[in-house]
Structure 1
Amino acid sequence: MGAMAEKMTDAQWRKFVSYGTRTGKLSTVRADGSPHVAPIWFVLDGDELVFNTGKNTVKGRNLTRDGRVALCVDDDRPPFSFVVVQGSARVSEDLDEIRHWATRIGARYMGEDRAEEFGARNGVPGELLVRVAIDRVLAERDVAD
């Protein structure tokens, strides 16, 4: 048996969640208090996570009503690492902001050549820009090492 899982430093967890096309699994709170989980594309902007969602999706409605969220990003290959962040979301319907961030997110997940297309598709009325102010981070690497 190797050493126990190691806590990541601030720089390590930021690099981890921003690596490649890792998605986040976002947990929001339904009206009845139960959790809802959905995979999302996101980018890190300083101390905030930024993503887009439709205003009328389950997560969009949940976030508009209750900003509490948790997000898990993990590497599913040995030796396994994960980051869980908790925070509070605020939503915006500013189309310029939505388009700007949708383009950045599109570049991360679909490549620079499709970023503008993604930004245009998502920078429309009915979409939300969500910013999650990060309150807590649990980040462990090499869990099974």
Structure 2
Amino acid sequence: MMLTQGDPALLDTDIARGLLASTEPARLAYTATDGTPRVLPMWFLWSGDELVLASFAGSAKVAALRARPDVAITIDTLGPPPDVLLLRGRVELTEVAGVLPEYTEMQVRYLGAEFAAAARAEVDVPGVRMVRIGLRPTWVGALDFRTRFPAGFAERGR
């Protein structure tokens, strides 16, 4: 039985597991405080049930998310064929003193240990505050043109 778009059980599919373990950036869509839409590429970590993003406290993004915590996120590859994971839900924000531990993990994951240490040293200064942005997806979509929608890719002659 094929899972329907929107079903959080899609997080347990190969496409979702692969993208959540990848170093592709997550693209966070949210509504700015002026009411206009925004999309930002961001590093992320998947905890097994929560997508974690990080930001510095005081940023415009954090203010907007506090006001309107409903978001959409995509993690995708260009392909061909493309793989796309779509997530929606409401984020929870937690402000911390210092560098967020998950941010350090993200730096290692995306930059490698050597570059991550140098990058952390640049931001780990007295008075720094960060915000943990956590999303437990309530809606999940997966576009997988190999197993879920193979005809969609085959029709293009590839």
Q: TM-score, normalised by structure 2?
A: 0.75
Which of 44, 47, 61 matches 1:45? 47
Q: Which has the larger radius of gyration?
A: 2
How big is the alpha-carbon RMSD for the aligned residues of Structure 1 and Structure 2? 2.4
Q: 1:144 and 1:123 mapped to 2: Cα distance?
A: 46
Match of 1:83 in 2: 85
Which of 12, 23, 26 matches 1:24? 26
* Structure with greater proportional strand content: 1
- The alignment of Structure 1 onto Structure 2 pairs a total of residues equal to 138
Match of 1:70 in 2: 72
8 Å contact kept, 1:103–1:118: no
Whichever residue aligns with residue 82 of structure 1, its letter is: V
Percentage of identical aligned residues: 25
Deviates more, 1:127-136 or 1:101-110: 127-136
Structure 1: unaligned runs, 5 residues or longer: 1-6
Partner deviation per Cα, 1:81-124 (whole Å, 9 max, x = no partner): 1011011111112236x431111000111012233344444456
Which of 47, 55, 58 matches 1:56? 58
Q: 1:74 Cα deviation (Å)? A: 0.9
Q: 1:123 and 1:29 mapped to 2: Cα distance?
A: 29
Q: 2:94 and 2:87 mapped to 1: Cα distance?
A: 21
> Following superposition, which runs of at least 4 residues in structure 1 exceed 6 angstroms of deviation?
none
8 Å contact kept, 1:25–1:73: yes
Q: TM-score, normalised by structure 1?
A: 0.81
8 Å contact kept, 1:29–1:66: yes
